[in-house]
Amino acid sequence: MNNIFLTGEIQVGKTTLLNKILEKINLSIGGFQVDRTIEQKGSSYIKEFFIISLINGQDSFKIATIKSVNDVCDVKVFTDSFETVANTIINESLNSRNLIVLDELGTMENEATYFQESVFSVLNSPKLTLGVIKKKPGKFIDKIRKRNDVMLIEVTKENRDYLLDDILEIIEKHFPGIIRKNYFSSNTNRIKWYDLALGYKGCEYPQVFLDKIYSYIDNMDNMTILDMGSGTGAFTIPLSQKAKSITALDSSINMISHLKNKCENEGIKNVNYLISPFEDIDIPPHDIIINAFSVGVTKDYEVLQKLCDTTKKFAFIISHHENDTYKFGEEELSKRLGRKLTEKRHSTNEGIFPMLDKLNLDYDYSEVEFSFPQYFKDMDDAMNFFITYFNINEEREISILQNYLDETLIAKDTGYIHPEDRLSRFIVIKK
C-alpha cells in the first residue's frame, strides 16, 4: 500500500501527525501543503488559502478566499491556481521526488480536471504518497476514497497520539529501509533549544567556521551555495547576505519549516528549501557547498563523490573529531545514572581521508576548537532538555539529573548555560 491518506474533523491534528510521519522518513519530499491565514474583525473575517510548494519551499499561490460578513459567507475558489501552478508542482514532484505529499485534498478542486488527472497519476505511480483528505464528501475526493490502492486512516482526538508507530510500521512493510531508526527527531522544543544555543553571545559557532570560509573566498556576490544539513540556518542566514542564492537542504521538514519562517521574518528571499537527504535528490552544481555535521559525506564514498561532483569551486566539510568530548556531560551523567556509555557515532570520521585521496582531491585540513554552550531560560527548561535528550523517566534518574544540573549549570544572563567545548575537523576541498 503506497497511498496513505489521513482524514478526520477540522483541527483534529491531521497535518501535525503527517509532519511527524514525514520527519521519520528518509526520502526526498515533494508535493504541497495548504496554509491558511485569517483576518478577524468582530464577527466578520476573511480566510485565505494558499498552496505551498514542497519542491522549493518558496512558491506560494492563493487557491481560495472565504469572506464572512454578518454570518453570510462568500466563497471564491481560484481554479486556475489548481490547473496551472498546483498541477506543475505535482508533476515536478512526480518526476524528481520519491515521496509525494498531498496536504490537503477537498472540494475546492472539484472543477480542476487537469489537477485531478495529475493527482491520479501520482496515485497510479509506485512512489510513496502521503496526504490529508477532507472528511466531508466531494465528487473528486470520493473517487480517491473508493480506490483499492488507497488506505484511509481516520484521526481522532482519542487516537492521534497513538497512530504514528502503526503508520510507520505499515510504511516500513511496503518500503523497507526508509524509516529512520533511533532518529533524534527535530520537534519544536529541540529546535528551540538549538536556536537558544546558537543565539547565546558566548557561542563561537558558526562564526569560527564562517571566518575560515571567508579566508578562502572574499567575494560571494555572484556565487551559489548549497548548505547541506542546513538545520535552523546557522550558515544559511549569514551567508544569504553575501551570496547570490542559497539552497538549504535538510531531511527534516520541521527544520526546513523553521528555517523558512526565520528567513521570511528577516526578509531573506534568496533561499530555496529542499526537504531530502543529499543522496536521494538530484541537485545542480553549486559554486560552494557547506556540509556541517552531516555524517553521510564522511563515511560513504559515493556520497562524498557526489558532493565533489556537485561542487564548482569549494566544499567545506565540518565534522566531529573522534577526540571530541561527549555532548551535554553524557560521560559523567551516564556514570551517575548507571547507564552504559553510548558509542560515539562519529568515531569513523577519520576514514574520510583515504576517500579524499582516492578521489585525488586537493584539500586542506585543520582541527578547530570552539565553545558551543547550551543556553537555558530557567532550570525547568534545562530539566526538560536533559530529560528529553537522555530519555529520563524514572524518579530516581530525575533526582540524579537535578543534582547533576545543580553542580554543572552556570547562571548567566537571566538564565543558565551548560558549558560545552567542541573539537571538530575542518576540511576544505578545492576544485
β-pairing, 29-41 vs 44-53, is antiparallel
The grid cell for 389 is 535528550
351 pLDDT band (50/70/90 cuts)? confident
pLDDT of residue 185: 67
430 pLDDT band (50/70/90 cuts)? very high
Give how far Cα 384 sits from Cα of 376, 380, 405, Å: 10, 6, 12
Cis peptide before 104 (omega within 30 of 0): yes
**Which amino acid appears at position 188 of this protein?**
T
CA-closest candidate to residue 100, choices 113, 88, 91: 91
pLDDT of residue 298: 86
Could you give the CA distance from residue 389 to residue 376 in angstroms, rounded to a whole number? 14
For residues 89 and 59, the answer to whether their CB atoms sit within 8 Å is yes
Could you give the CA distance from residue 163 to residue 47 in angstroms, rounded to a whole number? 30
Percent of the chain residues topping a pLDDT of 70 = 97
Q: Averaged over 102-108, what is the pLDDT? A: 95
For residues 298 and 413, the answer to whether their CB atoms sit within 8 Å is no
pLDDT at 344 exceeding the cut of 90:
no
- For residue 179, give the DSSP letter: B
**Which amino acid appears at position 183 of this protein?**
Y
pLDDT of residue 345: 54
pLDDT at 270 exceeding the cut of 70:
yes
pLDDT of residue 1: 83
Task: Say how many Å lie between the first and final Cα of the chain, rounded.
Answer: 45
pLDDT of residue 43: 82
Q: Averaged over 57-81, what is the pLDDT? A: 89
Average pLDDT, the chain: 94
Q: What is the pLDDT of residues 385-418, one digit of tens each?
A: 999 999 999 999 999 999 999 999 999 888 999 9
Q: Averaged over 259-269, what is the pLDDT? A: 96
Percent of the chain residues topping a pLDDT of 90 = 86
Identify the CATH homologous superfamily for domain 188-430: Vaccinia Virus protein VP39 (3.40.50.150)
Could you give the CA distance from residue 243 to residue 225 in angstroms, rounded to a whole number? 7
Of the given ranges (82-91, 178-187, 205-214, 345-354), which has the lowest mean pLDDT? 345-354
Tell if the pTM clears 0.85, that is, is over it.
yes
pLDDT at 56 exceeding the cut of 80:
yes
**CB-hemisphere CA count at 13 Å for 130?**
25
Of the given ranges (69-73, 160-164, 341-345), which has the lowest mean pLDDT? 341-345
Could you give the CA distance from residue 239 to residue 409 in angstroms, rounded to a whole number? 32
pLDDT of residue 184: 62
The grid cell for 239 is 551567508
CATH class, 3-36+51-60+79-174 region: alpha beta
pLDDT at 183 exceeding the cut of 80:
no
**Cβ atoms within 10 Å of 5's Cβ, excluding its own:** 25
Same fold: 3-36+51-60+79-174 with 188-430:
yes
Of the given ranges (71-80, 266-275, 369-378), which has the lowest mean pLDDT? 71-80
Classify burial at 102, counting beta carbons within 10 Å of its beta carbon; exposed 0-12, middle 13-18, buried 19 or more: buried
**69 vs 209, more confident:** 209
The grid cell for 184 is 533524534
Domain boundaries, the chain: 3-36+51-60+79-174, 188-430
